[in-house]
Structure 1
Amino acid sequence: MIVFAANPAEAPCSATHRLSPMFEARCIAVAGVSDRLGSFGHRLAQAITSTSFSGKIDFINPNYGTVLGRPCHKRFSDLDASPDLAVLGMGGRHLELGLLDAIEAGAKSAVIFDACFGETADGMSLLARLRGIAAEHNIPVCGGAGMGLVNVGSGCVASFYGAEHLKPGGITLIAHSGSVFTTLAMNDPRYRFDVLVSPGQEIGATVDEYIDYAATRDSTKVIAVFMETARNPGGFRASLRRARERGIPVVVCKVGRSEEAARMARSHTGALAGSKAAYEAVLEETGAICVQSVDELMNLASLCSTGRLPGKGGAALVTDSGGLRELAMDLAAETQAGLARFTDRTIQSLRQVLPSQLEPSNPLDCAADLTENFSKPFEDAIDILSGAEEVSMIGLEADLRDDYVYEERLLRLALDLPQRTGKPCFFYSSFGRANNFKLGERLIEGGIPCINGIGGALNAVTKLQAWSERGSLPAGSKTTVLSDKDLGWRQRLSTGKPLGEHEALSMLSAFGIPVVGSEVHNDLDGVMAAGERLGYPVALKTATEGVDHKSDVGGVLLNVRNRDELAQAYERLAASIGPRVIIQAMAPRGVELAFGCVQDPDFGPLVMISAGGILVEHFGGQQFALAPFGQDRALELIDRLPVSPLLDGTRGAAPADKLSAARALSRFSAMCASLAEGLREVDVNPVIVSAKGVLAVDALVVPAAIGGSMARIAPGLNINN
């Protein structure tokens, strides 16, 4: 191993994390460099040497003695030291041997740029072969079909894009898309990065490893992830939880949410994009922040990049415009933005420093007459807000641009914000295309993020406030010993034979979910005896095998009040559909919900709750969570439903027993988790919640062995959209 100078910055990297040799490399070997102008190899050589990297860089190409004036070796075996990082800038037909040669030379990590769509000499998929090599030798490999990586602080560049313009900051960017990597790294000086990586096809390291590594770095204050899929779903969940436990916000923009985008993702980097609902459930469960666009991603990343995170309360906005204050007020009200509600004490303090014509409010307009004391109300207000307990962060807006500063003291105030308050602070412009790139760069030099667009600013502070106030994560699910009940129902499901409604309800009951009393019979005598046992009124439904949507064929008769009506009802169903029926006690009146579960291919059982029965036509807003979860989480999901106010009682109706509903939903999630391998779908609709408790009335269970999709989980719902 080569011995570096005594300077700690030049010491060989210590493998404290599997990815440490990749990002903290002190010895880099670059294969495929070239001196031919315009070639990829020439561009790669220029990028690798674009910074003041203090470690060792070796070039490799058998066709050159020197490249860019540097000595060029013929092969990896000629190196006098084992590289921490091997950068393979060669075409697909050379990659298999190139990676093996690098590993034989002692390389601890590698980067590949080629899309790896070809085949090896023996006809094997090149991508599969490279993944096999990486797994066999346990070497982290970034790529292919990516842009590589940059450690801004150390100057380590393993990309064909130069990084000399980048200045170190607190954002780690992980982007499956190479275009997103370059757009964000090369476009806007307001963003300061710690490390950047484009994992591409993830030959030898998956997105969860990059998240986990970034969260171990003291220099990373926030992790921004633009992702297509999680190839290691369990690791993805675990890495997000660990980042949250370490106090590092992870902001995720998951693409492939629509079916068409998911199809394109499969053709782009070989990613199999999972359902939108499942990923959003994962992000919420693990304490990550879910965003829908690159603008949202970077607004939040920028807001978190200084390491200052908000406490309880909300944001206070200070502006120099009455009109823009009103615009922000409107948007905040419409979006329920996370702005602070000023206390009477704060309002009284503000009245004492504001000119009489200005009203204490949030947002706060501090602009009066343009005199020599114009900036003083701004300064005094920020000092007051800095000490207000209800204020968690402070934003300042002023008409300051790269080509115009109308009040120099406001500029000084903006630059001095981190010294005036210990709370998170930022500068914003209500106009999304404000001319302030240079100003934004100057501000971030002083630790002040700059956000353009009032909608984006409100969205960012709201999501960050929610992240901050969520608190600790619920405990992860634990492995439990299977009971005879679990094993019995697993065995039943493994037969692949469909479960009738009565048997489905029996399965729910076995897991502690209250169900309506019911019996199944094939003749009139049995039906009549059941009516006496269950008590009138009753419901009569067809139990003919293969009829899942009973109402569609006239197979449901409700409120059968006595023996005569029951006999007539049975004769009608037996004649029109078949003699096998289910007879049930009539459930009490109440609010109808629906429980559902589908198997997500990445994350397993995904539980849904929504309005049920006829209410589904009037109330949307389905909620999802990964199974299993506890009663508190179940209650949280129920409270988010648009139908939830009905459970609290309306127009004199008694409140429904939401705790019983939450207990039933939690037990349902436990059932779905326990029987996951045997279940494809479960639909429980309606689940009636009344003041007396909760009852599941109808259920459909589709064993995994049957295949197909019953598409009954909340009518009209597509979990990919």
Structure 2
Amino acid sequence: MAHRLNAMFEGRSMAVVGASARPGSFGARLAGAVLSGGFQGRIDFVNPRGGEILGRPALGHISELDHAPDIAVLGIGGPNLERALIDAIDKGARSAVIFDSCHGETADGTPILHRLKDIAREADLPVCGGSGMGFINTRSGAVASFYPADHLTPGGISLIAHSGSVFTVLGMNDPRYRFDLMVSPGQEIGATIDEYIAYAASRQSTRAIAVFMETARNPQGLIESLKAARDRGVPVVICKVGRTEESARLARSHTGALAGSNAAYAAVFEECGAIAVGSVDELMNTALLCATGRIPGPGGVGLVTDSGGLRELQVDLAAETGTPLAELGATTREALRAALPPELEPSNPLDCAADLTDEFPKVFERGLRMLAAAPEVSMLGLEADMRDDYVYEEGVFAQARALASITDKPCFFYSSFGQTHNRALGDELARLGVPCLNGAENMMAAVRNFQTWADRRRAAMVDAAKDADADRVLHWRARLAAPMDEHGSLALLADFGVPVVQSVICHSADTLREAAETLGFPLVLKTAEAGIDHKSDLGGVILDLKSHGALQAAYADLANRLGPRVIVQKMVGKGIELAFGCVIDPDFGPLVMVSPGGTLVEHFNERQFARAPFGPERASAMIRRLKVARLIDGVRGEAPRDLGAAARALADFSTACAALAGHVVEADVNPVVVTETGAVAVDALIVAVCKAQRDVA
């Protein structure tokens, strides 16, 4: 089935409304840009004055066309856009592009942007923009933009940038970046970013997708498009902005984009196999490395350099950033030792700079070929002091140009200095299939991102979430119509499979003895009065009660200060404490969190998130990424705790959160005590929708 955006990106005719012959005008700039890509399809200029534009006759109105255009490029201002879009639809246009910021209102007071979205929706018309730069298809030469494309060389990266400025900064800056598509969706009047990702992933010529994202207006569509790209083996690299509150506010004011929860987006990107990055430099360097179409195998990168000092810098950076350097095996080291001059150490990174004799480039060649052949090396990089105006050794430069021919692994040339003057050199290497990366940290980030993506794709985690019993879900949805206390919250968790501490509700001193006999000492006594959610803050928790006398005294104190209703619990043995939590993200639904619990929060300020529901494999991976997992594994002679039980409890918690998403606002389970033989939830608070609504009122 043809993709909805085929008409836009594979169209063979364009009608450019607002083109102009007036020098210096936007319309003149637009007309020149449209012709700059060498598009072989039909291009018609439309201007109310008619006449001639750049040697082509101009029509007075789009209705004068003798055909229905595939693409209507509307280079006109807001007050005329409503009529122009309707006219294009009436003529049978199959897609449209709008550049205007679409501020202001129509004659009846409707915001122009809303009206244009309604028109596009009613006609099911893909519209790129507004407040964007349009698009460029470098393969077909279609330029629906006011930026010229005559300098662009087709390549493997599809760039999708919500920001028009990012579209131009990244797309027009450096010839080493070769693009398949360039798109500026802007306000997404008639197509959302997920559609552009899905379309790009379907193209054989797209090897990597670079996304500068402000928001996902179709969250489920984003998930589906990212998974489709992952399944096709196309890396999607995303720089998501709006990660802070102020940045999110600016994103809303910029394109009307609600930036959403950063934690939710990060969880979605990981779940769907996308590569999340924090800057445009990391975005483009990672995309550049991914766009060769080669995928790294297991292992780490092998680096060849011409500097002992830079070799040491790269070892430091790799350790500090978690970038996997290949650990050279004995066979590889022995081969290097035999092939290298005695003053050079067979290491990774490998310094091949011997004396400047006729043998100098041959040392590099031997080093590169041996690392390329080593099974522990997944990618190959070469560094040498070469710039556009200086190549100190032509033989080494020849090795750089030949990199892609000496190995089928991903390979690249790099400089440790981020400001190296090598645009022309990078362009030349790009023609030979060799990415050129500047900056040791940028290179390390790109390598780490690509290797992690490939490793996770190979692992292909099988992680089936447990299905919630339908009758149980219906029961608890009804129960959540009333407020929940700790006892009810623990009962809910237990019903979904989460192990919980034994507990009994008591309303008087007379019932305490029976509860104690049932549970057995030692015990914990907590207030269970309605409205007290944070018991410890009010002295409402008394631990390690070992006798009936101690229990009665503790009850008298709590009843006097806070009220007679209490919860009696079996004291849980010593263990490592975790905390589970859940909030309902407005875009992506229930978002589950795991972190250190209890007093460990003071020592480990860290959290991991995932969308619910998920299975034990993902739960285990989340816990493993916490530093506190080292304590669970056992340190200083202590026996390891049952991480598997903790993972199963977290997965079952996620099942409950997903099943009750429309009825629960948030959930907090803290602590979950992980012992040598299991994991048990000790305290919980589930906030039902009804309570949250009353609190707001």
| Aligned 8 A contact 1:244 1:286 in 2 | yes
Aligned residue identity for 2:84: G
Does structure 2 retain, via aligned residues, the 8 Å contact 1:339–1:462? no
Counterpart of 2:472, as a letter, is K
Paired position in structure 2 for 1:434: 420
Report 1:122-133 matches (<5 A).
Answer: 122-133=108-119
1:194 to 180, 194, 201: 180
Out of 217, 231, 241, the position equivalent to 2:227 is: 241
- Partner residue in 2 for 1:717: none
Alignment of 1:618-697 (within 5 A): 618-697=603-682
> Does residue 351 of structure 1 match 2:322?
no
Matched, 1:93 2:79: yes
Counterparts of residues 389-538 of structure 1 (less than 5 Å): 389-470=375-456, 471=458, 473-474=460-461, 483-493=470-480, 495=481, 497-538=482-523
Distance 1:480 1:468, change over 3 A: same
| In structure 2, C-alpha distance between the alignment counterparts of 1:385 and 1:406, rounded to whole Å | 23
Counterpart-to-counterpart distance in 2, 1:139 and 1:473: 37
Tell me the distance in 2 between the aligned counterparts of 1:598 and 1:620: 19
The answer as to 2:189 corresponding to 1:203 is: yes
User: In the TM superposition, what is the alpha-carbon distance from 1:581 to its structure 2 partner?
Assistant: 0.7
Could you report, residue by residue, the CA deviation over 1:646-702 in whole angstroms, capped at 9, with x for unpaired residues? 111223322111111111000000000000111111000000010121110000111
Aligned residues: 694
Distance 1:637 1:67 in 2: 60
Q: Distance in 1 between matches of 2:460 and 2:272?
A: 7
Q: Which residue does the alignment assign to 1:158?
A: 144
Separation in structure 1 between the aligned mates of residue 582 and residue 230 of structure 2, nearest angstrom:
27
Distance 1:707 1:73 in 2: 60
Asked if the contact 2:465–2:651 (Cα under 8 Å) also holds between the matched residues in 1, the reply is no
**Which of 612, 623, 626 is the matching residue for 2:597?**
612
Correspondence list, 1:317-396, <5 A: 317-396=303-382
Deviation for aligned residue 1:704:
2.3
SS in 2 for 1:122: coil
Contact 1:230/1:236, CA 8 A, preserved across alignment = yes
Where do residues 41-56 of structure 1 align in structure 2 (5 Å cutoff)? 41-56=27-42
Q: Secondary structure at the match of 2:451?
A: helix
Once residues 114 and 235 of structure 1 are traced to their aligned partners in structure 2, the CA distance between those partners, rounded to angstroms, is: 26
The alpha-carbon distance between structure 1 residues 486 and 97, as it changes in their structure 2 partners (threshold 3 A), is same
Superposition RMSD on alpha carbons, in Å? 1.4
SS of equivalent to 1:432:
coil
Q: Distance in 1 between matches of 2:560 and 2:475?
A: 35
1:597 matched to 2:582? The reply is yes
After TM superposition, give the deviation of residue 32 of structure 1 in Å: 0.8
Write the distance in 1 (CA, Å) between the matches of 2:224 and 2:539. 49
Aligned partner of 1:4 in structure 2 is none
1:85–1:110: 8 Å Cα contact kept in structure 2?
yes
Note closer, same or farther for the CA distance 1:674–1:100 as it changes in structure 2 (3 Å cut): same
Are positions 1:304 and 2:290 aligned together? Answer: yes
CA distance in 2, matches of 1:511, 1:638: 20
Q: Shift in Å at residue 709 of structure 1?
A: 12
Structure-1 residue corresponding to 2:19: 33
Stretches of structure 1 that go unaligned for 5 or more consecutive residues are 1-14, 711-721
- Give CA-to-partner distance per residue, 1:555-586, whole Å, 9 cap, x none: 11011111111111111000011111111110
The counterpart of 1:548, out of the listed 509, 533, 547, is 533
Look up the SS of the partner of 1:669 in the other structure: helix
Pick one of 32, 49, 52 that aligns with 1:63: 49
Report the equivalent of 1:270.
256
> What is the deviation of 1:75?
1.4
Report Cα offsets for 1:458-485 as digits up to 9, x if no partner. Answer: 1111110111111254468789686111
Structure 1 residue 212 corresponds to structure 2 residue 198? yes
Q: Assess if the C-alpha contact under 8 Å between 1:620 and 1:642 holds in 2.
A: no
* Letter in structure 2 aligned against 1:491: A
Residue pair 1:319, 1:366 contacting (<8 A) in 2 also: yes
After TM superposition, give the deviation of residue 545 of structure 1 in Å: 1.1
Q: How does 1:700-715 map to 2 (within 5 A)?
A: 700-707=685-692
Q: Cα offset for 1:181? A: 0.1
Using a 3 Å threshold, how does the CA distance of structure 1 residues 506 and 22 change in structure 2: closer, same or farther? same
CA drift of 1:638 comes to: 1.0
Cα shift at 1:639: 1.0
Amino acid at match of 2:274: A
Unaligned 5+ segments in structure 2 are none
CA distance in 2 between partners of 1:272 and 1:356 (Å): 61
SS in 2 for 1:392: strand
Q: Secondary structure at the match of 1:117?
A: coil
Give, in angstroms, the shift of residue 498 of structure 1: 2.4
Shift, 1:103, TM fit: 0.9
Equivalent-residue separation in structure 1 for 2:657 and 2:95 (angstroms)? 41
Aligned counterparts of 2:189 and 2:592: Cα–Cα separation in 1: 32
Superposition deviation, residue 232 in structure 1: 0.5
What is the rounded CA distance, in whole Å, between the counterparts of 2:393 and 2:622 in structure 1? Answer: 49
Deviation at 1:312, TM superposition (A): 1.3
CA distance in 1, matches of 2:408, 2:666: 51
Q: Is the 8 A contact 1:34 1:64 kept in 2?
A: no
Aligned residue number for residue 153 of structure 2: 167
CA contact (8 A) 1:681 1:709 kept: no
- Residue type matched to 2:53 in 1? V
Cα offset for 1:705?
A: 3.0
- C-alpha spacing 1:473/1:696, structure 2 compared with 1 (3 Å): same
Render the CA deviation track for 1:406-452: whole Å, top value 9, x for unaligned.
Answer: 10111111111111111111000000000111111111011110000
Q: Give 1:292 shift.
A: 0.3
TM-score by length of 1: 0.95
Counterpart CA distance in 2 for 1:143 and 1:118 is 16
Shift of 1:69: 2.0
Paired AA for residue 366 in structure 2: D
CA distance in 2, matches of 1:65, 1:357: 75
Letter aligned with residue 492 of structure 1:
R
User: Is the 1:228–1:254 contact (alpha carbons within 8 Å) kept by the matching residues of 2?
Assistant: yes
3-state secondary structure, aligned to 2:312? helix
Report if the CA contact (8 A) 2:44-2:59 is conserved: yes
Distance (whole Å) between structure 2 residues aligned to residue 191 and residue 468 of structure 1? 22
| Residue 117 of structure 1: how far off its partner (Å) | 1.7
1:337 Cα offset (Å): 1.0
